[in-house]
Structure 1
Amino acid sequence: MRQRVRPLAAAVGSALLVLAQPAAHAEPAAPAAPGFSYYGGGSVPGSQQKRILLVVPILNGRELNDNLALWREPDGADFVNLDAFLHASAIDSTKDADGNYQLTTPIGQTLLPAASLRTDGGVVYAGLQTLSSVLAARVAFDDAEFALRIDLPWQPGAADKSPAAGDADQSVDVRAPQASLSRWRSELSGTVVDGEAAAYMNHRIAGALGPGYWHADFSHGVSGDSHDVDVQALSWLLDRGKSRWLVGQERLALHPLLASFEMTGVQYAQTNRPDLVYEAAGGYYGQLVPYQARPTSVIRGSGPPGGTAELRYGGQVLQRQTIRLDGRYEFRDVPAAPGDAIPIEVAVYAFGETGTPLRVDQTYSQAGNLQLPEGVNVHYVGLGSNGFLLDDNRSGTGGAGFYQFRRGFTDRVTAEAIVQSIGGRRQTVAGTALNLGMAGSWAAYAGRDDSGAGARQVLGDGQYGPWFWRANWLDYDDDYQADGSLGTRNRRAEAGRTFGDQLRVSLIHSDISGDAYSDIRYTKPAVTWRPTPRFSLGARPEYDGRYSYDAQWAVRRGTRLSASRYADISQIALDQDLGSRSRLQFTAQRDTELGNRYTATFNRYEGGRAHLAWAAGVLGGEGRTGFLAEASAELRPGLSARLTALRDPLHASDGTVIGFSIVADFAVTGAGLARGGVNQGYEREGGVSGIVERPAGARADFDLSGIPVLVDGHVRTRTEEGGHYHVQNLDPGVHRVELDNEGLPIELAVHEAPRRVEVRAGSLTRVDFGLELRLGLAGQVRGADGKPAVDIDVLVVDATGAIRARARSNTNGYYRLDGLPPGTYALRAVDRLERTLVETSLTLGERFLFGRELVLPADPNRSSPP
């Protein structure tokens, strides 16, 4: 078992934990807690010698229980014990024959080359700069707090979905529940203006019921006269692998050329590739079978590893996502409405940046998303009533029904046909998606309703060498979208060329008309230029033909200048980092409708268990002044709050606007509430949740947070305050769930074997763990001359004379004994003939004991009295 030392306060860290390595055989100035490996420091004395520091790791703002060994070179280069670092960061690794390490993280895999590693005393060390680079993270030693700060662009344990560990036929220790409330998410948000409050709540709850699972979405007002409950979804789903059933009310959007609708009834789907067809079922509408033919329904792109991709629609942020280590991001089931002229955009930020994005990319439909592999087929059918029967605000007239068929005839040809009837109005769609090789991917669809009105869609995208192209042509006849509606035309195409990573140029053509907006028609160039890694320029026409501009200049580390124009706002900003947790930002904005605004804002992240963050700013504009104050914190795991106070000089009539939000997001079991993660759709996944219980007789101040929970041998999460935990995104099946002993406080141990746990889609299985109080001691054996005594056996003997533990002193005389229950013992040093050299009494109560010295008598052949 890997030895552990509990972290000490930063104030005493430098006094107790810095081990400046002396000559090879010298002793440390003061005994440190046993369990830390002492390393030789070479023969060069003084300041030219390397040092090994025992430092406290702070992972994403949270102090961990395990200390890390840090190797510091005289030239300032820092290296960390690789095995301990990966364990603390919950990163899996495999080592190849050449000594390289393949690291697996929630945002992809990366390679740590053998050439970047160092070895000392059989321990492998990795450079902090190398780790920062390959993990797209910030790993640095903080001298002020004597800590190793590890800021990862993901939450440790949020691993990708692992394959199911087995079938339901295998032996199971813990069965999934038959009925439960497994997940609960509620959000209260609102504002207070001139003393009047307006607040709104939405809820999502889900759990197991019989062989399937249920979920409900509803919302309501909590102020004024608006208290009506709006039920967005209420359904029960049965997943049988290749087939799925759903009973209840849901919103459906089967194709961009078909009207979306709400239905109460029964849905059924069948496919021979459920892993491919159902996997992305967390669509915007949450329907049983996700459909990828909505405009820009899947958006892929690239950006700085570990950074953030922010999905925007008409300037409004819809989703955020961490960019994977391979530099890619992907948004699935993007809610783009059929015929919408406003393009979806993705703002790309570097890791840790939240001000002005590095760039803003407009996106287009991608025909390749619509293709199925050869032989894959999908049948999707539904029948019921139009509207939601349980919600008067969503009631419809008549019946509703549909049938959809998709099939991959070859890897290059996919065909599709859909017919739906809503309230007596029938629409049909047929088409195909093609892979034309070097000519790219193309898809063409035609729709018709029972009155003879039609609609057409053509999608295309591709790349050949440095050349790329995209096209989206969407036309609706009069009366097709609804009776009395005017025809809509939305045609957009782009073709261009890239010149390495430095330059991208293209020509964009747009032709838009319809009753919802004025006619728009233009053909304009777009360009992105990045002559150096620190400087970039970009210009691109928006949907209405106006240009958006963006310029970024990283003046130096922690300092960035930016200028941008987007929609009606132009902005110049200066961002200055003040350490690793603070930032000062100055902005000057020009709003073509409201006027000029000048802002100075200080942002601070305090971290800790509450993840406290706050900001304060001064605003000025149009001869008036204002302010901004904001704070957010996690009140308990899964319960967070945010409060904002704003007096905007450009909205002087509003006075001071107070905004607030409280979000409760929990995994629910009989063991209590843990931080959750409610799904937005019908993913075929479940989870486990429970508590690690404090053993009888243990101190009340034992910290049960941060204990690694392993699923199928991989760390998937860590316990929260109080010992609660939640592992989500597990495939249905049987999984092996256990605790990592090495993550426990030194006095505690797991006394239960790993469990084989059944996981079912849509619900949580409760798995609790009990601990035992197992104590120990450590110290040093010295001779009568005060020098370390090497290879001396040290025994712990109980009242019956039985030996309960044995250890041998190392080259520095240190020993350590573990795994003892509370009680009174004899601590004895013996020679090789088991003759007692020295003995003393020992009482173990609540704590691990350090500094227990045994001094041998001058004559090693003569025993010392107890």
Structure 2
Amino acid sequence: MSRFLPLAPTRLAAALALAGLLCAGQAVGAPAASPFGGYADAVGAGSAPQIQLAALVVNGDERHDALAVVQRAGVTLVALDYLVRALRLVAEPRADALVFATPLGEARVPRANTSEIQGFLFVDVATLAQAFGARMRFDRGEYALRVDLGWDPFAAAPGDAAQATPVPADIRAPRASLSRWRSEIAWRGDAHSSSWLGTTDLAGVVGPASWYLREIDDFESDRRVDLWALAGGQGHARYLVGRELSGSIGGLLPGFHLTGAQVAWSNRPRALFDAAYGDGLVASRLDAQRTLRGKGPPGGVAELRRDGQVVARTPIALDGHYEFRDQTRTGERIEVAVYEPGQADVPLRVDEIRPVASDRLLPEGAVLHHAGLGTSANPLDRLDQGGERAGFYQWRQGVRDGLTLMAAWQDSGARPQGAAGAVASLGALGVWSATLAHAGEGNAVEVYGDGARGALFWNGWFNHREAGFLDDEAIARADYTAEAGWRPRAGLAASLVARHSRGGEAGEVDFIKPALQWQPRADLALSLRPDYDGRYVTVARWAPLRDTTLGYANYRDQRQFTLDQRLPDRLLLRAQLVDEDGLGRRTGVYLNGPGSARWPFSWTLGALHGRGRAGYLLEGSGELRPGLLLRAQVLDDPLQRERFGGTGRIAMLSMVADFAVTPSGLARGGYRERRGDDGGISGRIVAGDGFDARRLAGVGVLLDGRWRGEVDGSGRFAIGQLPDGIYSLSLDSGELPLEYQPADPVRRVEVRAGAATRVDFGLALRLGFAGRVLDAAGEPLADRALEVFDAEGRRVATARSDAWGYYRIDGLAAGPYRVRAEGGLARDLRLEREFAFGIDLDARTPR
């Protein structure tokens, strides 16, 4: 591989990240969230709420934009990000509300009325209708949100006709660039072994196309460029050249890595290519889920399981997000267990990842063709040089409203595989998907879907595979799961869960058991739900006092009791008892808290005891500079000594660098794996030597007059997810330090897909002075004209005194000046770096 990459990107990324830290000076980012914050009150082992896609009808016209919705207790919740994007609005986050500028005035959505589900903010339809002054209703028959607004969000603006000739950009987008960089480097060591693992994602633009690559390095023998491609296209077509993980039309046929060329065509490109989420050439909602994302306690751990077997673990980032990439699903039951920092015994919750049938519905008349041809080998991996010819073809068509047909063929070097299926809206029964596949020597069928009517809800997933499917040695498998329940009001849901499974990792499983989620008030909650093998997952929480919380959790072979006590200065004290079958009991006391304002981080200290032995936990995490996150942990668990022998001490260190890359430097990024038709703007604020960039933290960045981001503590900013076009970029001058103003108030900036356009704002020092005009008796002289002259005798400013003799002069550069008032009073002064007060023109004081 060294022929292709002389210096591995992951190792280079580590060096660059450390260099970035050393060059950051005193730049300090936002404080990292407390590992116990936010999710400490979460309850809900069991299934995550089902997010479905619905149509959007605005003022009687059906839009191509899909909406993410959740049905809960007979109430429809709408993903706010999807709706405002479809209505072409921009959110301005405030402390207590999200504010949107509309032609009718400001629309306010109180934060108290939002619910966070899988990383998105959801709001009920009634709240949205009131906020936007609109009529909104959810049509379950058509599974669409109908919105009647008092304005047309898709009409041309009044000045658009006059702007038929576009205003040229002051700053052009780069034709070739590295725009985004994200690296994750992790080390883990114990008494027996240690290991490193690094992953680096790079993305940018070259000519009319965007490029990306992912490099994986274990710092020993496995170093490879795993994914790499050049993607582009416009209109009805998209293309990709390189190495990419192909998708499938369902969960039966596996995806595979294809090195070669892909092309996709659709008569509805806006709906099927330019999706608001996804990580493939076409919208990922149409394929089996390949990237699993979610939220959890910052600094914790997310654990991916297939049929109950752990297949991957990843730290939860300090922003509370986790991600599992390049996952291929072939009929297994998939779950993600989320653990709090240092608490690897009983998970905080277990989310079941289910496919959503409505995601695969196409609008009536929509057609999608997607094909690829190449090889299974990777020329940028010295261990994967030998490959076979591979390819695939997929077809989907919305034959009518509520019915989509699909078919696929693929050959990954073994025997060809094929599948065909349909997705249908069955009215009151909900939306269901059915797929039949043939691969190897066997067939398979998968059916899944869900529905709701009033307070009743139901869902099912049925998978049957014959012996020899995909593999000649594969045994027959059957897995049937169903749930039906009643959700009479918010905070209460009762259901029956049934499962029949044969041939899986858990062996023979048969059960029909009740499940309950009950939260009568904010300080009391209970959740009971059978796991994949029928054993219950139980979570209970009760807060008898405002700062005191009692908790109980039961998962598989482990039981956990906790007592949390919030202390002054944002400290949290936790006492814990863990009882694990086969290992015994362990007690622990933990203290968690934030760092100082100068050094923002989160820390945890723990003292443990079990089986007559003592242990400890030391953990810290924080943002060393905007975009550079570090987490370290040392755990000596007395119970783990029994499991691993000798010592239970484990040390872990992880670093994440996530940047938008511009010639002006690195700004806090937010790497997006998907390749959509969007770009970004990034830059910095330049204020001269000696200026403390932390004074700029929180200054708003305006796009076309609307808030779209803010400056970080190093004076940099980044705005992403912008469609191609020319935008007016400015700073919120009212938030700048009093003595500074932008040298160029508004910049016209070009944005291109895949690129980050650099824009630097210079700040000009604009000083001034103020005082009073007084006569010989010390009385104020009102309405007197004043003039200001610079060192060369030029008049640079004028003013008049008010009724009390006060005056004020603004907008002057540093330097010497002479101020003269009507009647002959005058005074010399020099402005340095601050506004000058008390510059009185007093007839009693000769100057």
Question: TM-score higher than 0.5 here?
Answer: yes
Unaligned residue ranges in structure 1 (runs of 5+): 1-57, 63-84, 114-162, 859-863
Deviation at 1:343, TM superposition (A): 4.1
Contact 2:335 2:350 in 1 (8 A): no
User: Which residue, 727, 733, 737 being the options, matches 1:745?
Assistant: 737
For 1:436-585, what aligned pairs fall within 5 Å after superposition?
Answer: 436-449=426-439, 451=441, 453-514=442-503, 516-579=505-568, 581-585=570-574
After superposition, what is the alpha-carbon deviation per residue over 1:582-626, rounded to whole angstroms, capped at 9, x for unaligned? 211111111224321211111111253643221111111111111
- 8 A Cα contact 1:407 1:415, kept in partner: yes
Measure how far apart 1:317 and its partner are. 6.7
Cross-structure match for 1:767: 759
Task: Give me the whole-angstrom Cα distance separating, in 2, the residues matched to 1:95 and 1:405.
Answer: 40
Higher relative contact order (CA 8 A, sep 6+): 2
Specify the code of the residue in structure 1 equivalent to 2:823.
Answer: R
Q: Is the 8 A contact 1:417 1:430 kept in 2?
A: yes
**CA offset at residue 99 of structure 1?**
8.9
Match of 1:390 in 2: 380
2:243 corresponds in structure 1 to: 249
The SS at the match of 1:339 is: coil
Specify the alignment match of 1:708 in structure 2. 700
Structure 2 residue aligned with 1:417, among 407, 427, 449? 407
Q: Take 2:572 and 2:599, find their aligned partners in 1: how far apart are those partners?
A: 20
Q: Secondary structure of 2:552's match? A: strand
CA distance in 2, matches of 1:228, 1:167: 56
Residue from 845, 849, 856 that aligns with 2:832: 845
Shift in Å, 1:221:
1.7
Residues 185-240 of structure 1: CA deviation (Å, up to 9, x unaligned):
22221123239642221111122122112111111122xxx332133201111132
Q: Relative to 1, partners in 2 of residues 1:535 and 1:642: Cα closer, same or farther, differing over 3 Å? A: same
* Contact 1:168 1:733 survives alignment (8 Å): no
Of residues 272, 282, 293 in structure 1, which corresponds to 2:267? 272
State the 1:466 CA deviation: 0.2
> Could you say what the CA RMSD is over the residues aligned between the two structures, in angstroms?
4.3
**Which residue of 2 is the match for residue 672 of structure 1?**
665
Q: Which runs of 5+ in 2 are unaligned?
A: 1-27, 33-91, 115-119, 128-155
Matched residue SS, 1:180: strand
Instruction: For 1:167 and 1:609, locate their aligned partners in 2 and report how far apart those are by CA, in whole Å.
Output: 51
> Do the aligned partners of 1:312 and 1:347 also contact (CA within 8 Å) in 2?
no
Change (3 A) 1:291 1:773: closer
Cα distance, 1:282 vs. partner? 5.7
What per-residue deviation string (whole Å, max 9, x for no partner) do you get for residues 514-535 of structure 1? 2544121111111112233321
Q: 1:782 to 1:220 in 2, by over 3 A?
A: same
Cα distance change of structure 1 residues 389 and 167 upon mapping to structure 2, 3 Å threshold = farther
The change in CA–CA distance for 1:101 and 1:784 in structure 2 (over 3 A counts) is farther
What is the SS of the residue equivalent to 1:292? helix
Identity %: 34
The answer (yes or no) to whether the contact 2:96–2:110 under 8 Å persists in 1 is no
Tell me, what secondary structure is at the counterpart of 1:389?
A: coil
Tell me the distance in 2 between the aligned counterparts of 1:403 and 1:424. Answer: 16
- What is the alpha-carbon distance in structure 2 between the residues aligned to residue 287 and residue 167 of structure 1? 35
Aligned equivalents of 1:253 and 1:319: distance in 2? 26
Distance in 2, matches of 1:564 and 1:189, equals 29
Q: 1:217: which partner in 2?
A: 214
d(CA) in 2 for partners of 1:703, 1:781: 38
CA distance, structure 1, for counterparts of residue 569 and residue 370 of structure 2: 52
Counterpart of 1:234 in structure 2 is 228
Q: Which of 791, 801, 823 in structure 2 is aligned with 1:835?
A: 823
Query: Cα deviations across residues 17-73 of structure 1 (Å, max 9, x unaligned)?
Result: xxxxxxxxxxxxxxxxxxxxxxxxxxxxxxxxxxxxxxxxx99659xxxxxxxxxxx
Letter of the 1:403 counterpart: Y
CA 1:815–1:822 in structure 2 vs 1: closer, same or farther (change >3 Å)? same
How many angstroms does 1:376 deviate by? 1.9
Q: Is the 8 A contact 2:337 2:347 kept in 1?
A: no
Counterpart of 2:390? 400
Counterpart CA distance in 1 for 2:409 and 2:126 is 53
Residue 372 of structure 1 aligns to a residue whose secondary structure is coil
After superposition, give the CA deviation of every residue in 1:749-791 in whole Å (9 maximum; x if it has no partner).
2122522222222221122222222212245667888888776
Q: Give, in angstroms, the shift of residue 548 of structure 1.
A: 0.8
Letter in 1 for 2:790: D
The answer to whether the 8 A contact 2:337-2:348 is kept is no
Pair 264,362 (structure 1): closer, same or farther in 2 beyond 3 Å: closer
CA displacement 1:224-258 (0-9 Å, x = unmatched): xx332133201111132432111111122313121
> For 1:475 and 1:703, how far apart are their aligned partners in 2?
59
Residues 780, 813 of structure 1: 8 Å contact kept: yes
CA shift for structure 1 position 646: 1.3
| 1:656 aligned residue | 649
Q: Distance in 1 between matches of 2:462 and 2:261?
A: 34
Q: 1:505 to 1:580 in 2, by over 3 A?
A: farther
Change over 3 Å in CA distance of 1:281–1:425 after alignment to 2: farther
Q: Amino acid of the residue matched to residue 258 of structure 1?
A: L
Contact 1:249 1:262 in 2 (8 A): yes
Alignment map for 1:674-823 (pairs within 5 Å) = 674-695=667-688, 699-701=690-692, 703=694, 705-706=696-697, 707-779=699-771, 795-799=787-791, 802-807=794-799, 815-823=807-815
C-alpha distance in 2, partners of 1:481/1:714? 53
SS in 1 for 2:534: coil
1:202 and 1:332, CA in 2 relative to 1: closer, same or farther beyond 3 A? closer
Cα distance in 2 between the residues matched to 1:587 and 1:825: 69
Q: Distance in 2 between matches of 1:569 and 1:792?
A: 83
Comparing 490-499 and 358-367, the one that deviates more: 358-367
Question: How far off is 1:852 after superposition?
Answer: 1.5
Structure 1 residue 673: deviation in Å? Answer: 1.9
In structure 1, give the amino acid aligned to 2:724: P
Structure 1 residue 413, shift from structure 2 partner? 0.8
Which residue of 627, 634, 642 corresponds with 2:631? Answer: 642
Give 1:736's aligned amino acid.
S
Structure 2 CA distance for partners of 1:168 and 1:339, relative to 1, 3 Å:
farther
Following superposition, the deviation at residue 497 of structure 1 comes to 0.5
The yes-or-no answer on 1:341 pairing with 2:340 is: no
Query: Which residue of structure 2 aligns with residue 630 of structure 1?
Result: 619
Question: Is 2:367 the counterpart of 1:377?
Answer: yes
Deviations 1:345-381 (A, max 9, x none): 78999xxx99998865545332111111112221111
Q: Alignment partner of 2:416: what SS?
A: strand
| Alpha-carbon distance change, 359 to 520 in structure 1, aligned in 2, over 3 angstroms | same
Deviation digits for residues 527-556 of structure 1 (CA, Å, limit 9, x no counterpart):
112233321112110011001111111223
1:386-424 deviation digits (Å, cap 9, x = unpaired):
232332444564211111111112221111111112215
How many residues were matched structurally?
710
Distance 1:209 1:847 in 2: 46
Do 2:345 and 2:578's aligned partners in 1 also have CA atoms closer than 8 Å?
Answer: no
Change (3 A) 1:335 1:195: closer
Kindly indicate whether the alpha-carbon contact (under 8 Å) linking 1:420 and 1:426 is maintained by their aligned counterparts in 2. Answer: yes
Shift, 1:655, TM fit: 4.7
Tell me how far apart the structure 1 counterparts of residues 545 and 800 of structure 2 sit (CA, whole Å): 54
Opposite residue 192 of structure 1, the aligned amino acid is G
**Could you tell me how far apart the structure 2 residues matched to 1:100 and 1:216 are?**
41
